[in-house]
Structure 1
Amino acid sequence: MNLKENERKILVASISPQSRASLAAVFNISIKSTHARLTYFFTKILSFSHFVDTNFGRELALYALSNDFIQRYKTKKNEYDNQILPLLTSACPGWICYAEKTHTEVLPYISRVKSPQQITGTIIKSKLTKALNKQKHNIYHVSIMPCFDKKLEASREEFSENGARDVDCVITTSEILEMLKDYSLDLQKIPEAPHDSLISCYMDADIMEHPGSSSGGYLIQILTFAAQELFNIDLTNANSTHNIIHIIRNNDMMEYILKGPDDLVLLRMATCYEVMACPSGCINGGGQLKPETVNLSKTFTQKEWIDHVNNLYNSSIKISINPIRILQYIKNWDHDFTYKVLYTTYRSIPQLYNKQLNQDW
């Protein structure tokens, strides 16, 4: 079918670091090599124009979340003021949907900062529409995610403008494996392609991650940023006399506390929560590859597999958010565009009950 030039879609794919780590674990290759081979698969075989990761979107999300926390903390009147804290942070659409439907009282506490998936989509479409003089609907953005609920997130009306979405299609990690099988391809044998710098404020082409949990590292980044802004403490300085105490309560709960000399507690992150629906977080999302569903050279228990994928995820270079770098990137953004890129809204969704089933027994 011949399409007119202005009707042709520009195809762009973005991948989450959790999906990349899961594929790297299955094919027993490095994170960097996995990304380079997937870049070749999408750009050379599937004819996509760009293949990027969502880490820059996450960088912006972490920056906006940190500022959100600082603003709320400074506005808080006293230690008993619970009108604006604790701050609930999450890139988990399952949790957001749950809160909107069943716990609307927590909505004011959830940060309005968009997820890396949606920030990435907004930036991709904005940048390419300007660079190529195209309409937003001429850019088709595919997002590769560890979670089936990301499909629902992309379909939210808040992420659509005049019928054109920031993310047009979400495919899971397991669906990527099926695509490779459909093409009779082994990721280990696909050539590598150069790193795509369509959206980034990094000069280095290496794959970079953020410290903290493999669900985004929201909590540790906010704590690090808050230590600098509120107490003038640089936690990235190896010689700092202050430290972060990491307490593992159980498999599904971890706590971070900022302590100074003499074990003085300066900030306890009960004022901020990072929430995930899946056990072990996004690295174990429902769309990720499971050891029992793929051919592996050795046998893994579920915990061993999660640890293995986590270790690969954490093998990349770690960087903390750099406000100067980010401000340089967004310096020409006006207020409306900044809000459009970084923020969203949440709403109460009434539950529909079946009257017959809701009768008293």
Structure 2
Amino acid sequence: MSAILSADALNDFITPGVACIKPVETLPTAAPTAPAESSLEHEVILDGAPGSQSQSGSAAPAQISLTDCLACSGCVTSAEAVLVSLQSHNEVLSVLDEAPALHVVTDGGGQVTVEGLQNPSSKLFVVSVSPQTRASLAAACGNDTTEQQAGHMIEQLFMGEHGLRGGGKHGNGFTWVLDTNTAREACLVLGSDEVLGGGMKQPKPKDDSNKPATPPILTSSCPGWVCYAEKTHPYVLPHLSRVKSPQALMGTLLKTTLSRKLGISPERIWHLAIMPCFDKKLEASREELTDAVWKTEDGQPGMGVRDVDCVITTKEIFMLVASRGIDFFSIPNVASPVQQPPFPDPTIQRFLFPSNAKKQSRSAGTSGGNLHFILHDVQSRNPDSRIETVRGRNADVVEYKVVDSTGKTVFFEAARYYGFRNIQNLVRKLKPQTGSRLPGSAKRPAGKGLKFKYVEVMACPGGCTNGGGQVKVDDQIIIDRKGFEAKPGPQEQKAWLAEVDEAYFSADEPESELEKANNGGLDGTICGISPSNIRDTLVHWSSITGIDLYRLAYTSYREVISDVGKEITDTERVVQIAGKIGGGW
């Protein structure tokens, strides 16, 4: 279901527990003599015991890993299965073929209008692409293809005549192809302000779920980690960062700005996100990430229209092109000749389409650089300080300190925990300890077991370039291109990940001496990002939409209670699924 871990991550496999249910595909050996039951067959495992008998004999014990359990409240629910299955390359093609697309046009005076509104089924198509996706596709192309060149190929696919516009019922394409790196920069500034104070105002608490995060603050941009915390460790939720992920922030920015500026309803703006992770599909389905949160016209809330309508993963790009008979590798790796129309707001236009693409720093890692940015923000606030790094028990655990020139004064402590083996160790340290029954004893509050003020948490070992939705070395398309005679093993996968990471940093430039010392500039930039410009843009966004920034840029989390072992009727299940189509896990 949720394939965010690689198959060779053996340290993340677990033993099936009580009421753990995993669907098992059962193929009949002969034509049935009686009508088969229509219910889904399952292999039920209790306390790791062997499963039940199937028609073909003894079924092998199910092998359960956290891959199966991330999108699960004890088992993979029907509602979640529906939500994820609705988001696929088939949905992209189906929506494109529904009706002629809306077109954004600009008159001589710079006024932006929309054509085609008379057809109620017509939509405005927008796609945002993650840098990890571009890196994975660049590695698949080979021949030293850079991330930027892979990005041009994606632009050509979604906008150009060599791509989706060349086929389909209406020859529809996407109006804008956006880079989620721009939203990432806003998330970095907001996240640093959340941890260090100052800058943007924090969300206004309406109830317990909307309270600001409690230190130590944990990254919340990884949906696999968030889902795991909500379903298994609710005591962690107060520590999760309230800042939206780049995918979610981009979705809110597009839906709010375009609907206000173009005078069209949010449901007529169709936003596709291309991500390295299957769990991003679940993130897009959250109730907290719909127009029900931000839309208020005449006091009426929104209808639960998603900020991100559909998520497909990197490897699903190849399914998309195959469905249209397109050879992805033959698409030109130069900028698309189709000009994107100007965004209907000049300030947002400059934010979404910067003149100079930001360089990915190798020291920031491949998961967005949340911790990297905060460390250098701390360093910029403490002159003559330096960052010390301490390697943990494995490569996916690293501790950091910002200290003075003597190393005696510690300004800030943080850490990085990647992979679920390490995450389980982290949540154990956060769990409140039950106090002794002796008089005067007290239990330890949650979070007191950690010395860190911030922890960057990612579910995938190695980070987001190793996401479950990325192209793998044992995918048939890579086997064919590389000419492997046998199925690639762990060593080949390790070498493949190195190629993806190299593509991710292919636009990297050597840092200047000043950047090496402080990774900031005299103009107030941090890691090449101007926090003041980001904050001004966010304030402008709030002003043109008339929506408070805390409703636009922040989110909340909630405990998810398992329904395993509970009697749920078919009617209740249908109601549950229908209620979650607009949001929720």
TM-score norm. by structure 1 comes to: 0.85
Alignment check: 8 A CA contact 1:13 1:52 kept: yes
| 2:232 is aligned with 1:102 | yes
Deviation at 1:352, TM superposition (A): 2.5
1:172 matched residue in structure 2: 313
More helix as a share of residues: 1
1:314 corresponds to which letter in structure 2? F
| 2:399 is aligned with 1:247 | no
Deviation at 1:37, TM superposition (A): 1.6
Q: What SS class does the counterpart of residue 321 from structure 1 fall into?
A: coil
Alignment check: 8 A CA contact 1:88 1:110 kept: yes
Partners of 1:207 and 1:69 lie apart in 2 by: 23
Change (3 A) 1:159 1:105: same
1:149 matched residue in structure 2: 279
Q: How many residues align?
A: 337
| 2:326 is aligned with 1:326 | no
**Which deviates more from structure 2 when the two are superposed, residues 137-146 or residues 318-327?**
318-327
Superposition pairs of residues 25-36 of structure 1, within 5 angstroms: 25-28=139-142, 29-36=145-152
2:335 matched residue in structure 1: 193
Deviations 1:91-111 (A, max 9, x none): 111111111111111111111
Partners of 2:530 and 2:258 lie apart in 1 by: 25
Q: Higher relative contact order by CA 8 Å / sep ≥ 6: 1 or 2?
A: 1
Alignment check: 8 A CA contact 1:27 1:188 kept: no
Deviation at 1:207, TM superposition (A): 5.5
Determine which of 267, 278, 285 is the counterpart of 2:412: 267
TM-score norm. by structure 2 comes to: 0.54
Deviation at 1:355, TM superposition (A): 7.2
Deviation at 1:208, TM superposition (A): 4.0
Deviation at 1:351, TM superposition (A): 1.8
2:560 matched residue in structure 1: 349
Partners of 2:458 and 2:282 lie apart in 1 by: 16
Alignment check: 8 A CA contact 1:21 1:310 kept: yes
Change (3 A) 1:317 1:122: farther
Alignment check: 8 A CA contact 2:138 2:146 kept: yes
Q: What SS class does the counterpart of residue 267 from structure 2 fall into?
A: helix
What 5-or-longer segments of structure 2 have no aligned partner? Answer: 1-97, 101-115, 165-172, 199-212, 292-302, 344-348, 415-451, 485-490, 510-526, 568-585
Q: What SS class does the counterpart of residue 315 from structure 2 fall into?
A: helix
Question: Is the radius of gyration larger for structure 1 or structure 2?
Answer: 2
Change (3 A) 1:251 1:298: farther
1:63 matched residue in structure 2: 189
| 2:333 is aligned with 1:181 | no
Determine which of 383, 399, 402 is the counterpart of 1:258: 402
**Which deviates more from structure 2 when the two are superposed, residues 167-176 or residues 46-55?**
46-55
2:413 corresponds to which letter in structure 1? R
Determine which of 468, 474, 493 is the counterpart of 1:302: 493
1:253 corresponds to which letter in structure 2? V
**Which deviates more from structure 2 when the two are superposed, residues 162-171 or residues 289-298?**
289-298
Determine which of 326, 338, 361 is the counterpart of 2:549: 338
Alignment check: 8 A CA contact 1:142 1:169 kept: yes
Alignment check: 8 A CA contact 2:220 2:244 kept: no
1:292 matched residue in structure 2: 474
Q: CA RMSD in A?
A: 2.5
Partners of 2:505 and 2:391 lie apart in 1 by: 18
Partners of 1:276 and 1:2 lie apart in 2 by: 39
Deviations 1:128-178 (A, max 9, x none): 223322111110000000111100100011111213110000000000122
1:22 matched residue in structure 2: 136
2:158 matched residue in structure 1: 42
Deviations 1:219-271 (A, max 9, x none): 11111112334x2x3xxxxxxx4322233321321222213212233322122
1:344 corresponds to which letter in structure 2? T
Partners of 2:134 and 2:473 lie apart in 1 by: 16
Q: What SS class does the counterpart of residue 220 from structure 1 fall into?
A: helix
1:287 corresponds to which letter in structure 2? G
Deviation at 1:114, TM superposition (A): 0.6
What 5-or-longer segments of structure 1 have no aligned partner? Answer: 73-82, 234-240, 357-361
